[in-house]
A and B are shown apart, each in its own frame.
Chain A
Amino acid sequence: MEQMNTEDCEGVSAGAFVFQSRPNHSLTHGQQRFVFWSLAGVCFATSSGFALLGYWLILPFAGLEIGLLAWALGALRSQEGDYETLTIEGDVVVLEWHAGTRGERREMNRQWARVVCDCRTPGRDCRLSLCSHGRETKVGQYLSDEARLQLAATLRRKLQA
């Protein structure tokens, strides 16, 4: 997972706190196309060759398999836009996340926002949320436990400042 932690981000005023994290994607669109078409090419060339000789039952299996591959690559593509952004600017805390087709933007009053960090064992299996008006929203989705603990400390400091 990649994360960006900056005090000076475009679109927010100087002094605002912005924390953004997103999953790591190392596959480019070009590579994705290469993977798909190279495999589809080999599979369909082979199975079409056998089909021309009368052994057509290989073709549907090649189709199913390449369909599964297409779904897998499509699923990866749909996750490319996933992110989580936390902004503290003035009296407003904005938590915004996007995962696949789902997403949410939630605004909280800084005075009412509370950091909840719950670790099942010390330093491990940690769950970090921001709580306000009886509603809890998870933060640090793409972070390790250590990074969540660090973020919790930073958020407490920023909310009290």
Chain B
Amino acid sequence: MSDAAHAHDDHGHHAHPTGIMRWLTTTNHKDIGTMYLWFALIMLFSAGTMALLIRAELFHPGMQLMHPDFFNQLTTMHGLIMIFGAIMPAFTGFANWQVPLMLGAPDMAFPRMNNWSFWLLPVAGIMLLGSFLLPGGAVAGGWTMYPPLFIQGGVSYDLTILAVHIMGLSSIMGSINIITTILNMRAPGLTLMKMPLFCWTWLITAYLLIATMPVLAGAVTMLLTDRNFGTHFFNAAGGGDPVMFQHIFWFFGHPEVYILILPAFGIVSQIIPTFARKPLFGYASMVYATASIAILSFTVWAHHMFTTGMPVASQLFFMFSTMLIAVPTGVKVFNWVATMWKGSLTFETPMLFAIAFVCLFTIGGFSGLVLAMAPVDIQLQDTYYVVAHFHYVLVSGALFSIFAGIYFWLPKWTGHMYNETLGKTHFWLSVIGMNIVFFPMHFLGLAGMPRRIPDYALQFTEFNQIATVGAFIFGFSQLLFLAVVLKTIKGGAKASDRVWEGAEGLEWTVPSPAPYHTFETAPVVK
């Protein structure tokens, strides 16, 4: 047989390895999606444990459980791991599972690159977690990596920079894969404006990632050269400008916030129409609103830096551009509510999480508007008000949408229905716990309690104690989530192909559980 014939014979028909080799070498989008989701869950529990240690220390004023430097390490690593290790990989897991199924594609456009982008993540995760064991402990300069602290630390700072590079590389490869899959592998007839909104939000997220990742990579590399090679990009002692790092970091960092929330918008936009049994209200406006948010996200970065000193004209520009983002976000919230309006609503666990998302994310959005006002922000900068704001956005926003998405698609992935009672118990414990933790933080911030400190003045005690109790309720209720997932994987009532009565889309046309290979022949969408 000729070489060419051999080559033709070989590709496309895989012998499936078993055991660990299946997971190491897999190029199947479903396997890789599953690995992303499990990795995200492990990281969620790791960084969640750090959060509980932080809250345990803050139960009383004064130092109880740990050295202040270890407290700083915990706050820094909690932020880094939650953002880069838990939320982003979880959404990439959803993209891996759902994008090909929603588009009628057999797999991602570059399956081997997909394998690489996943397997880089555990390496980076081990580096980050392992840095606690290094001399001097893990990084303690805050997840934003500001100099001069980040220039002065020990070897764990270099390791963290390397880990950030690796995670960035993984994100870039993942983004290129998602963009090419969405644009090139849509089933015949599935035009861009017929695509499920989850695919749209991921397409725009991938654009944002590609646009911003070189900025982060460059910024941390300049930190690395300042630390090790005698450059002075950000080192004031050598004529560098530490404030410029903040500009560069937030030029990446604010679009990053939308990278963390746009896929959440997509998930919720799939769930609400399903349980309202109505098509999504204002589909086109949702697409344009998502694109507007992404474009505007490049114009707001300095609202994180009002207190660094900037001309009034700049303050006004960044204040108004930040407020402007509320308009497309408001369009989205309006459309979700309008979709539910006069719908035949039922309240299964995914819908409960989606409704909680709409309500609580809106609270986070409003506190964001408060912080957008430069004179107010100068008062509230680095207080617990900011902590409350971004946790309402990222916990009740990003994390709740992840829970909603898991409950929504788990029957399709496993072939079994989850236990609705346990799911609803998890929802109520989470939503109550989350509000007990983070709502009092608004009051603490307004009263002037600074963030990132292990000790505080006596007048803040009660609200801190309430927050700590809430944190433990919220934290331990996630064990229930783990139990629900494991129980569903193990067994349960058989899920039908179209799991939910109101479900629409190609993913519901394949059997439950979704077969290992799907859509080898593209379906035709009318």
Contact = CB atoms under 8 A, between A and B. Distances in A.
Interface in A54-76: 54-55, 57-62, 64-65, 68-69, 72-73, 75-76
A42 B521 contact: no
B217 A68 contact: no
Given A1-B106, A99-B8, A99-B11, A144 B521 contact: yes
Interface residues on B, range: 35 or more
Given A58-B214, A73-B180, A24 B188 contact: yes
B5 A147 contact: no
Contacts of B345: none
Interface string A1-30: 111000000000000000000001111000
A47 B7 CA distance: 42
B8 A76 contact: no
B210 A43 contact: yes
A24 B187 contact: yes
B215 interface: yes
Nearest to A69: B176
Given A26-B184, A26-B186, A65-B214, A57 B221 contact: yes
Given A39-B211, A58-B219, A144-B517, A102 B251 contact: no
A2 B520 CA distance: 10
B503 interface: no
Interface in B190-229: 190, 207, 210-211, 213-215, 217-219, 221-222, 225
A99 B9 CA distance: 12
B217 to A, nearest CB: 4
Interface in A118-161: 127, 129, 135-138, 141-145, 147
A69 B110 CA distance: 12
B212 to A, nearest CB: 8
Contact of A104 (B8, B113, B225): B8
Interface string B497-526: 000000000000000000001011110000
Contacts of A25: 184
Interface in B1-38: 1-2, 4-5, 7-9, 11-13
Contacts of B56: none
Contacts of B187: 24, 26
Contacts, number: 136
Q: Is the interface of B mostly helix, strand, loop or mixed?
A: helix
Contacts of A106: 5
Contact of A137 (B5, B180, B211): B5
A123 B275 CA distance: 35
A50 interface: yes
Interface residues on A, range: 35 or more
A43 B212 CA distance: 8
B218 A57 contact: yes
A102 B10 CA distance: 13
Contact of B214 (A61, A99, A136, A147): A61
A52 interface: no
10 contacts: A27-B183, A46-B214, A50-B215, A55-B222, A61-B214, A61-B218, A72-B109, A99-B7, A106-B5, A147-B520
Given A69-B176, A76-B180, A99-B11, 4 more contacts: A27-B180, A47-B215, A64-B214, A72-B176
B419 to A, nearest CB: 30
A114 to B, nearest CB: 15
B354 to A, nearest CB: 30
A43 B522 contact: no
B522 A2 contact: yes
Nearest to A68: B176
Contacts of B110: 72, 75
A51 B254 CA distance: 20
B186 to A, nearest CB: 4
B172 interface: yes
A2 B8 contact: no
B4 A24 contact: no
Contacts of A145: 517, 520
B8 A137 contact: yes
**Residue with the greatest number of chain A CB neighbours at <10 A, chosen from B4, B213, B233:** B4
Contacts of B120: none
A102 B522 contact: no
A90 interface: no
A142 B214 contact: no
A39 B521 contact: no
A30 to B, nearest CB: 11
Interface in B220-270: 221-222, 225, 233, 244, 248, 251
Nearest to A138: B9
Contacts of B161: none
A97 interface: yes
Contacts of A59: 218
Nearest to B7: A102
B360 interface: no
A65 B109 contact: no
Contacts of A61: 213-214, 217-218, 221
Contacts of A64: 214
A151 to B, nearest CB: 11
Contact of B215 (A26, A46, A129): A46
A147 B517 CA distance: 13
Contact of B244 (A42, A55, A104, A141): A55
B185 interface: yes
Contacts of A72: 109-110, 113, 176-177, 180
A103 interface: yes
B430 to A, nearest CB: 37
Given A25-B184, A136-B1, A138-B13, A58 B211 contact: no
Contacts of A138: 8-9, 12-13
B166 interface: no
B247 to A, nearest CB: 9
B521 A3 contact: yes
Contact of A1 (B13, B219, B522): B522
